[in-house]
Amino acid sequence: MKAHLTRRYQFSASHRLHSEHFDERQNREIYGKCNNPHGHGHNYKLEVTVSGEPNPETGMVCNLADLDSFVEREIMLNLQFSNLNEVEIFRNKVPTTENLSRELFHLLREQFRLAKVEKVRIEETMMNSFEYAGGRELGAL
């Protein structure tokens, strides 16, 4: 039996959508108000879905305390109240929420070994959410 567990977290961070590949005019046209030189913030809601065979003794896919501890240590401490443009994972990437969901998925998939990470979903606003569940990356064969 395979079961899924989704845990929800919240953090606040700011970002500016701006690419070095475009000039100022192109950045304004592509990113609109999100290209504000002073940035803007969001109260992000992060959902992490893991799966696995429930442990016969505990009945759990994974211990919530283990997942919470990992997310707090590896994600929240780095992102809470941060400017995403200054976070290491965005040194060479535009900090869109699409990119954020992909980066967090890979971080979790590579380092959290107590259950299989199925997907990451991030709600940026009540109108926008982004989900990433892996897949073929650009440039992959």
**CATH at residue 53:** 3.30.479.10
Evaluate whether 95 touches 15 at the Cβ level (below 8 Å). Answer: yes
Is the pLDDT reported for residue 141 higher than 80? no
List 78's β-bridge partners, or say none.
none
Classify residue 70: in a domain, yes or no.
Answer: yes
Higher pLDDT, 141 or 28: 28
Taking residues 67-93, report their average pLDDT.
96
Is the pLDDT reported for residue 136 higher than 90? no
Classify residue 98: in a domain, yes or no.
Answer: yes
Classify residue 65: in a domain, yes or no.
Answer: yes
First vs last Cα of the chain: how many Å apart?
33
Looking at residue 139, its pLDDT comes to 45
Classify residue 90: in a domain, yes or no.
Answer: yes
Domain hosting 27: range is: 3-132
Please identify which residue in the block is written with the tokens 């592509």: 30
Q: Based on the structure, what is the number of domains in the chain?
A: 1
User: Per residue in 36-61, pLDDT tens?
Assistant: 999 999 999 999 999 999 999 999 99
